[in-house]
Amino acid sequence: MTIQEVQEEIIDEFSMFEDWEERYQYMIDLGKSLPLIEDKYKTEDNIIKGCQSKVWVHADMVDDKVNFTADSDAIITKGIIAILIRVFSDQHPKDIIEANTDFIDKIGLKEHLSPTRANGLVSMIKQLKMYAIAYQTQLN
Q: Count of H helices and E strands in the chain? A: 6, 2
Active site (annotated) includes residue 51: yes
Check if the beta carbon of residue 97 is closer than 8 Å to that of residue 133: yes
Check if the beta carbon of residue 107 is closer than 8 Å to that of residue 7: no
**Catalytic residue (choose from 51, 57, 59, 96):** 51
* Residue 66, Ramachandran bin (φ over 0: left; ψ between -120 and 50: alpha; else beta): beta
Active site residue ranges:
51
